[in-house]
């Protein structure tokens, strides 16, 4: 899913990660690439344009987060704007008297019948009593297909040979009402192209039964053509939601990104495979992360932000650069890292090159090391933390036994701390030139 687009985004953000600071020109260069990547993925031009404008406004609009480096900030903005473009998640409306009616519409081959069965399966698992209705009398094969699928999921299928779809839907509704069915899903006829006869038939069904939801199934693989089809249906019947199918094969992704903005109809489900379990409720956050191909990088960014106490960090940074960084600050930082979750998870979430480096670290070792460091600092008095010069041999022995570690461990920590202190002094003198970025 979205392989090409994710690959492109990854390349774009890789370049960004090496920057310490982003100028307006950097942001413009990145957005040119983003724009191209989206157009190549077959996202509608108008959607690309407004997307890029919004990201640009925010990225150069000094939306500065102390918790994130510039690359992470841009990734975060792109991710959030992608979510906005994809639209709010919208649940199926199954309120009102029973049986509630879901009408499935779409062109032939879109995956409508498969989606109908998948949806019936979901509804049943939610405790609904479901009836499937085969309202495509023109294609006996379509009726047979729904019957087969109904058997597979253990749901009854209502069929009547030679009965016109509006009558058939009305009869099915009566029967459903009498027999305590709570949700009825109608598989309507599909045609090979948009035509008036099909639309009139759908309108006639909607006049005969009280339809809660009219879901249009569209094949996401057909790119922008999907937008035209959705607009065609939308102009003739009152669509309440979209089911985008074959997302598992959709490496370009343009239809999924554009369709909500262009048609105004919310996406409700995604078909992600041929199996009858392969229907997902639409979740814009998850989809946006997939499109960006950032794994859980986004989750990491969000957690880093939540864990970060901005004021404390600013004060700390000031003291660091003034050469006043103490073991107390060190302990604070450890606490923040811990707030982000287990180290193994954090290491797993690192993208690209960082992830590879992290894979060479055994998370269990790192976790142990972190605990030891914390125990050592906790065993120090406040005065010792503020002024490590006090730490003579006998104090070191006391700390080691108090923290259940060896004197060597204590020595190592103090040495590391001194090195960090020296590094900050150096940064202060040189303004950070020639040094690798420490975080991110």
Residues that constitute the known binding site: 106-113, 187-191, 245-248
Q: Please tell me the distance from the alpha carbon of residue 206 to that of residue 19, in angstroms, as a whole number.
A: 57
User: Does 108 engage in binding with ligand GDP (CB under 6 A)?
Assistant: yes
Q: Pull the structure tokens for residue 182.
A: 């709570």
- Residue closer to ligand GDP (CB basis): 25 or 141: 141
User: Does 258 engage in binding with ligand GDP (CB under 6 A)?
Assistant: no
* Binding residue numbers for GTP: 106-113, 187-191, 245-248
CB of 238: closest distance to ligand GDP in angstroms?
20
User: Does 355 engage in binding with ligand GDP (CB under 6 A)?
Assistant: no
Residue 182, Cα to own-chain centre: how many angstroms?
32
H or E stretch at 404: none
CB of 193: closest distance to ligand GDP in angstroms?
13
Question: Which of 70, 99, 111, 253: binder of ligand GDP (CB under 6 A)?
Answer: 111
CB of 220: closest distance to ligand GDP in angstroms?
8
User: Does 271 engage in binding with ligand GDP (CB under 6 A)?
Assistant: yes
User: Does 114 engage in binding with ligand GDP (CB under 6 A)?
Assistant: yes
CB of 186: closest distance to ligand GDP in angstroms?
13
Q: What is the DSSP string of 314-380?
A: HHHHHHHHTT---HHHHHHHHHHHHHT--HHHHHHH--HHHHHHHHTS-HHHHHHHHHHHHHHHHTS
Instruction: List the one residue out of 133, 243, 145 whose CA is nearest residue 185.
Output: 133
User: Does 165 engage in binding with ligand GDP (CB under 6 A)?
Assistant: no
- Residue closer to ligand GDP (CB basis): 70 or 150: 150
Question: Which of 72, 188, 245, 261: binder of ligand GDP (CB under 6 A)?
Answer: 245
CB of 312: closest distance to ligand GDP in angstroms?
48
User: Does 223 engage in binding with ligand GDP (CB under 6 A)?
Assistant: no
Number of Cα atoms under 13 Å in the Cβ half of residue 384: 17
User: Does 188 engage in binding with ligand GDP (CB under 6 A)?
Assistant: no
- Residue closer to ligand GDP (CB basis): 81 or 250: 250
Q: Please tell me the distance from the alpha carbon of residue 104 to that of residue 280, in angstroms, as a whole number.
A: 16
H or E stretch at 197: helix 196-208
Strand duo 241-245 + 267-271: pairing: parallel
Q: Please tell me the distance from the alpha carbon of residue 13 to that of residue 67, in angstroms, as a whole number.
A: 18
User: Does 137 engage in binding with ligand GDP (CB under 6 A)?
Assistant: no
CB of 280: closest distance to ligand GDP in angstroms?
10
Instruction: List the one residue out of 211, 215, 197, 205 whose CA is nearest residue 170.
Output: 205
User: Does 190 engage in binding with ligand GDP (CB under 6 A)?
Assistant: yes
User: Does 106 engage in binding with ligand GDP (CB under 6 A)?
Assistant: yes
Give the total of residues touching ligand GDP (CB under 6 A): 18
Q: Please tell me the distance from the alpha carbon of residue 408 to that of residue 34, in angstroms, as a whole number.
A: 51
- Count of CB atoms situated within 10 Å of the CB of 306: 10
- Residue closer to ligand GDP (CB basis): 255 or 376: 255
Is residue 186 classed as helix, strand or coil in its secondary structure?
A: strand
CB of 89: closest distance to ligand GDP in angstroms?
19
Q: Please tell me the distance from the alpha carbon of residue 91 to that of residue 358, in angstroms, as a whole number.
A: 39
What is the contact surface with ligand GDP in residues (CB under 6 A)?
Answer: 106, 108-114, 190, 245-246, 248-249, 271-274, 278
């Amino acid at each position: 899913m979205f392989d090409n687009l994710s690959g492109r985004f990854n390349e774009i953000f890789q370049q960004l990660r090496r920057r310490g600071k982003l100028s307006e020109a950097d942001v413009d260069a990145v957005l040119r690439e983003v724009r191209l990547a989206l157009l190549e993925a077959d996202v509608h031009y108008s959607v690309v344009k407004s997307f890029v404008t919004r990201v640009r406004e925010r990225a150069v609009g000094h939306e500065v987060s102390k918790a994130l480096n510039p690359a992470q900030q841009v990734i975060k903005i792109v991710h959030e704007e992608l979510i906005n473009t994809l639209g709010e998640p919208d649940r199926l409306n199954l309120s009102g008297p029973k049986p509630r009616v879901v009408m499935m519409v779409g062109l032939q081959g879109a995956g409508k019948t498969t989606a109908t069965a998948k949806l019936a399966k979901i509804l049943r698992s939610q405790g609904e009593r479901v009836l499937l209705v085969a309202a495509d009398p023109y294609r006996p094969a379509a009726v047979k297909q729904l019957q087969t699928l109904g058997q597979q999921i253990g749901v009854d299928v209502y069929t009547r040979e030679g009965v016109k779809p509006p009558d058939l839907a009305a009869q099915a509704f009566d029967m459903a009402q009498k027999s305590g069915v709570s949700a009825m899903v109608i598989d309507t006829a599909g045609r090979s192209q948009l035509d008036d006869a099909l639309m009139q038939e759908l309108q006639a069904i909607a006049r005969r039964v009280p339809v809660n939801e009219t879901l249009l199934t569209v094949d996401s693989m057909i790119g922008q053509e999907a937008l035209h089809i959705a607009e065609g249906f939308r102009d003739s019947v009152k669509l309440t939601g979209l089911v985008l199918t074959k997302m598992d094969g959709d490496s370009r992704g343009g239809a999924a990104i554009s369709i909500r903005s262009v048609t105004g109809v919310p996406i409700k489900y995604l078909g992600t495979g041929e199996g009858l379990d392969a229907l997902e409720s639409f979740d814009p956050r998850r989809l946006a992360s997939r499109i960006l191909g950032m794994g859980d990088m986004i989750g990491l960014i969000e957690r880093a932000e939540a864990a970060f106490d901005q004021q404390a960090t600013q004060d700390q940074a000031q003291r660091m650069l003034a050469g006043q960084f103490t073991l107390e600050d060190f302990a604070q930082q450890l606490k923040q890292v811990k707030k982000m979750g287990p180290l193994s998870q954090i290491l797993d979430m690192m993208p690209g090159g960082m992830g590879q480096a992290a894979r060479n670290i055994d998370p269990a070792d790192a976790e142990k090391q972190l605990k030891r460091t914390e125990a050592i600092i906790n065993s120090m008095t406040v005065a010792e933390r503020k002024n490590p010069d006090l730490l003579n041999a006998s104090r070191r022995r006391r700390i080691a036994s108090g923290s259940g570690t060896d004197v060597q461990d204590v020595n190592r920590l103090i040495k590391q701390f001194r090195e960090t202190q020296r590094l900050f002094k150096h940064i202060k003198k040189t303004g950070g030139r020639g040094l690798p970025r420490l975080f991110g």
